[in-house]
């Protein structure tokens, strides 16, 4: 019987969920679901200085928001595999580190930072441009170790690599990848503070948690031979690896978390009013091509059709315009009820939503439903309607100085005062009546009225604005 597929997303809680992390999580999740497998959320928190408070919680929340719900996590553990935070698994790492030492596969290293620096400098001086650990401590006697300990030195543990060993694996995305141990050097598996390094802990955990496939970012490609060496020493089955390509910006440069021009964190998108369905769909196409022309997919559809062989081996471009377009499509598809729930927090930035019925709020929001790319955009569109401010430019001055303008405004005011209601049809008729009465048509008719009501030459449909603001407010503005 084939082994059950088990994959994981294993973030370090050093920050919020990044677009690249969300992509790793998504593709692992889809791979698991396509193969009736499990998707595990594990926390790699051994870099204790860089951990941030709330990192784990926010990453998990953002994943669930996207619809990527782990089958196992610190909050939803399977007792067979728990715990799910590396700092709670230290005993296990110590046990395996000791085993490696006992087998002669690892050794204590007492070198200080200064000594390591000096050794590197010396190698550079000899023309070696990728210096490695010089194995100073590989054969220390007990006496020598004792002497170092007396000096107050605390050892780290290094893995003793097999010399000249070629390590190859079949990457799910890039095909055969080959490294040679001679380019790597004996690396640290346990730091002197007793905390394992990423490359060590990840192997123990992936094995203990019965992970079958590891899909992760390209930045981990060079870690994989280190990890495979460990699997070999332990005699464990090596999982299948796949390394996803980097995500680049429009200039072809790798997305950097420090690049403030591009929003990269889920929390930022949530805050601005992007829909999880749109973000999910966008990330899905970031490095994966469906077998058909279509671009819009639901999560359930993706679970059915996800085929990892269609993951791209060349960089994926992060196209903000495309994301905005996609989000707009999803906003337009929302029904009234969902749209109102989605948009209300943004309306609340402009008006006191308690003063309006849901019907009124929906009317307000629908005026811009086909226009906004994300929720927060409605704030700037709506604000001018409630905060009258006459724009000033030559064109506006000209319109206001036309002989016909006072005549149009007077007629409009009269008809509006008499209007039975402000429904769209009534208003359309009203404009016709004003036009007939004054003999003014088109822009010369509408523009003075728009300017007196909104202060701007452009914006939402006038008849909608009139209905939204109400007769009293419009007459007040006309009289000012
Ligand atoms: N904690 C690692 C990271 O956040 C996980 C890498 C892996 O998937 O092995 O990059």
Q: How far is CA 77 from the centre of its chain?
A: 25
What are the C-alpha distances in Å from 121 to residues 115, 183, 269? Answer: 10, 17, 46
CB atoms within 10 A of CB 126: 8
What is the rounded distance in angstroms from the CA atom of residue 21 to the CA atom of residue 10? 9
Structure tokens at 340: 């109102």
468's enclosing H/E stretch is: helix 462-469
Confidence at residue 305, expressed as pLDDT on a 0 to 100 scale = 92
Pairing of strands 188-190, 156-159: antiparallel
**Cβ of 216 less than 6 Å from ligand 1:** yes
The rounded mean pLDDT for the chain is 95
What is the rounded distance in angstroms from the CA atom of residue 442 to the CA atom of residue 444? 6
pLDDT of 360 > 80? The answer is: yes
What is the rounded distance in angstroms from the CA atom of residue 348 to the CA atom of residue 332? 20
Gap from CA of 115 to ligand 1 centroid (Å):
30
Mean pLDDT value of segment 346-371 = 96
Mean pLDDT value of segment 34-61 = 96
Query: In terms of C-beta density within 10 A (0-12 exposed, 13-18 middle, 19 or more buried), how is residue 153 classed?
Result: middle
Mean pLDDT value of segment 460-471 = 93
Confidence at residue 1, expressed as pLDDT on a 0 to 100 scale = 66
Do residues 25 and 7 make contact, with C-beta atoms less than 8 angstroms apart? no
Gap from CA of 10 to ligand 1 centroid (Å):
5
| Model confidence pLDDT, tens digit, residues 79-107 | 999 999 999 999 999 999 999 999 999 99
Gap from CA of 400 to ligand 1 centroid (Å):
64
SS (HEC) of 188-205: EEECCCCCECHHHHHHHH
First-to-last alpha carbon distance for the chain, in angstroms, is: 82
* pTM assigned to the model: 0.91
Which of 6, 7, 9, 12 is the pocket-test mutation for ligand 1 (most atoms within 8 Å of CB)? Answer: 12
Phi-psi region of 297 (alpha: psi -120 to 50; beta: other; left: phi over 0): beta
Which residue's CA is the nearest one to ligand 1's atom 5? 10
| Model confidence pLDDT, tens digit, residues 8-33 | 999 999 999 999 999 999 999 999 99
257: confidence class by pLDDT, cuts 50, 70, 90: confident
Instruction: Answer with the residue of higher pLDDT: 332 or 479.
Output: 332
Mean pLDDT value of segment 200-209 = 98
Confirm whether 53 is a catalytic residue. Answer: no
Mean pLDDT value of segment 117-139 = 96
Catalytic one among 257, 333, 441, 443? 257
Percent of the chain with pLDDT over 70: 100
Do residues 325 and 363 make contact, with C-beta atoms less than 8 angstroms apart? no
Least confident of 238-242, 310-314, 415-419: 310-314
| Model confidence pLDDT, tens digit, residues 258-298 | 777 888 999 999 999 999 999 999 999 998 999 999 999 99
Confidence at residue 133, expressed as pLDDT on a 0 to 100 scale = 97
Task: Work out the angle at residue 457's Cα, subtended by the Cα atoms of residues 455 and 463, and round it to the nearest 5 degrees.
Answer: 80
């Amino acid at each position: 019987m084939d082994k059950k597929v088990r994959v994981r997303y294993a973030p370090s809680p050093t920050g919020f969920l990044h677009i690249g992390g969300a992509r790793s999580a998504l593709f692992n999740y889809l791979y698991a679901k396509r193969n009736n497998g499990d998707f595990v959320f594990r926390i790699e928190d051994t870099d204790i200085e860089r951990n941030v408070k709330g990192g784990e919680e926010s990453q998990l929340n953002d994943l669930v928001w996207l619809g990527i719900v782990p089958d196992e996590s610190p909050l939803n553990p399977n007792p067979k595999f728990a715990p799910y935070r590396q700092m709670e698994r230290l005993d296990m790492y110590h046990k395996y580190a000791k085993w490696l030492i006992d087998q002669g596969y690892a050794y204590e290293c007492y070198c200080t930072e200064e000594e390591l620096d000096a050794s590197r400098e010396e190698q550079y001086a000899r023309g070696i441009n990728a210096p490695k650990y010089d194995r100073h401590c590989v054969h220390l006697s007990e006496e020598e170790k004792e002497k170092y300990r007396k000096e107050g030195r605390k050892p780290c543990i290094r893995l003793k690599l097999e010399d000249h060993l070629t390590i190859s694996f079949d990457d799910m995305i890039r095909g055969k990848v080959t490294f040679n141990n001679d380019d790597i050097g004996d690396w640290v598996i346990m730091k002197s503070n007793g905390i394992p390094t990423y490359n060590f802990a990840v192997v123990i955990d992936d094995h203990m948690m019965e992970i079958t496939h590891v899909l992760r970012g390209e930045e981990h490609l060079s870690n994989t031979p280190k990890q495979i060496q460990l699997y070999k020493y332990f005699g464990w089955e090596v999982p299948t690896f796949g390394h996803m390509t980097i995500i680049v910006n429009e200039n072809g440069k790798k997305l950097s978390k420090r690049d403030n021009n591009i929003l990269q964190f889920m929390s930022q998108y949530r805050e601005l009013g992007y829909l999880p369905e749109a973000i999910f769909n966008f990330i899905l196409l970031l490095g994966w091509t469906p077998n058909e022309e279509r671009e819009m997919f639901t999560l359930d559809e993706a679970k059915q059709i996800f085929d990892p062989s269609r993951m791209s081996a060349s960089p994926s471009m992060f196209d903000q315009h495309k994301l905005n377009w996609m989000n707009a499509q999803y906003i337009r598809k929302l029904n009234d009820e969902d749209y109102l729930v989605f948009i209300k927090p943004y309306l609340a930035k402009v008006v006191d939503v308690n003063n309006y019925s849901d019907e009124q709020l929906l009317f307000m929001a629908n005026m811009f439903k086909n226009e906004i790319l994300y929720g927060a955009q409605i704030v700037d569109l709506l604000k001018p309607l409630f905060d009258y401010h006459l724009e000033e430019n030559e064109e506006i001055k000209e319109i206001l100085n036309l002989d016909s303008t006072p005549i149009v405004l007077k007629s409009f005011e009269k008809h509006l005062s008499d209007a039975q209601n402000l429904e769209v049809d009534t208003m359309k008729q009203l404009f016709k009546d004003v036009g007939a009465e004054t003999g003014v048509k088109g822009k010369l008719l509408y523009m003075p009225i728009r300017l007196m009501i909104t202060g701007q030459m452009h914006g939402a449909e006038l008849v909608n604005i009139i209905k939204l603001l109400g007769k009293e407010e419009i007459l007040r503005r006309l009289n000012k």
